[in-house]
Structures are given as structure tokens and as C-alpha cells.
């Protein structure tokens, strides 16, 4: 049966570095981020983002996010594959649970969702998931 969870991700640490310059303000960066997660999903997150910035400071990004904590009354961890875009004010995108990444009571988790993160604010996330 598919369940629905909503919550927020608060950034606790953001370490971003360029790894390639494409000229004229275009660049590729890598960010290592630590998060506190609250709501229907409680716990901690760590994510690695790869971003491609354009001269207007907008960007596209992809990442893998390791989530450790609880969903409902089940605890464990899982990995989310993320992709999205940043328009200079809001980052938004899609989430997919990486198959086979669930541990503990979250073993077998499957799901999809979305997130929205206004600049300098908490990220809002929703996830439709199935625990088999």
C-alpha cells in the first residue's frame, strides 16, 4: 500500500567547490551537504550534489542523498536519487528511492517524490512510498 510523507530538510552544513570552469561564468561544482530532517520523515541526511551553473547563476543539478531515520513507526535508512534546477531563487526537482538501498525496517522501500527549496530557507519534501 502506498503511503505519503511530507517534511522539511534544514541545511546544517554546505561545502561547495568548483571542479571545472567552462568560461564566461559557466562552472561545474560539487557540494557536500548535511541536513536535519523533520516531519513525517525524521532524521538526518547527507547529500552530494553535482551542479552546472550558467552565467545568470541558475543551475541544473543531480545528487544522491542518504537519509537515516524514521518514516512513521519504521526506522532505517535509504538513498534518494535527485535531479532538478535552480532558477536563482528556488531549487526544485524530483526524488526517486534508489532500489535496494533501504536498510533496517525500511528494507525494500520504493518511492518517488518532489522537493522545493527557496534560497536561504528549509527545503519542503513530499514522498509517496511503499514498504512492500
Give the HSE-up count for residue 49: Cα atoms under 13 Å, Cβ half-sphere. 27
pLDDT at 107 over 80: yes
- Phi-psi label, residue 56: left if phi above 0, alpha if psi -120 to 50, beta otherwise: alpha
C-alpha of 128 from chain center: 15
In which band, very low, low, confident or very high, does the pLDDT at 120 lie, cut at 50, 70 and 90? confident
What is the spatial distance between Cα 96 and Cα 88, in angstroms, rounded to a whole number? 24
Q: pLDDT tens across 65-92, in order? A: 999 999 989 999 999 999 999 999 999 9
Which three cell numbers mark 124?
519542503
- Element of type H or E holding 41: strand 41-53
CA–CA distances in Å: residue 56 to residues 30, 88, 89: 18, 8, 12
Report yes or no: 64 and 45 within 8 Å, Cβ to Cβ. Answer: no
Decide: pTM greater than 0.85. yes
Length of the chain in terms of residues written: 132
Amino acid at each position: 500500500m502506498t503511503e505519503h510523507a511530507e517534511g522539511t530538510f534544514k541545511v546544517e552544513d554546505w561545502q561547495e567547490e568548483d571542479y571545472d570552469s567552462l568560461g564566461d561564468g559557466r562552472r561545474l561544482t560539487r557540494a557536500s551537504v548535511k541536513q536535519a530532517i523533520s516531519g513525517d520523515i525524521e532524521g538526518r541526511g547527507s547529500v552530494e550534489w553535482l551542479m552546472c551553473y550558467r552565467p545568470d547563476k541558475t543551475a541544473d543539478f543531480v545528487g544522491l542523498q542518504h537519509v537515516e531515520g524514521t518514516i512513521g513507526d519504521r526506522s532505517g535508512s535509504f538513498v534518494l536519487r535527485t535531479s532538478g534546477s535552480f532558477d536563482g531563487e528556488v531549487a526544485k526537482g524530483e526524488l526517486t528511492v534508489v532500489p535496494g538501498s533501504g536498510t533496517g525496517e525500511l528494507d525494500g522501500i520504493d518511492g518517488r517524490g518532489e522537493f522545493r527549496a527557496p534560497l536561504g530557507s528549509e527545503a519542503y519534501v513530499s514522498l509517496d512510498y511503499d514498504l512492500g
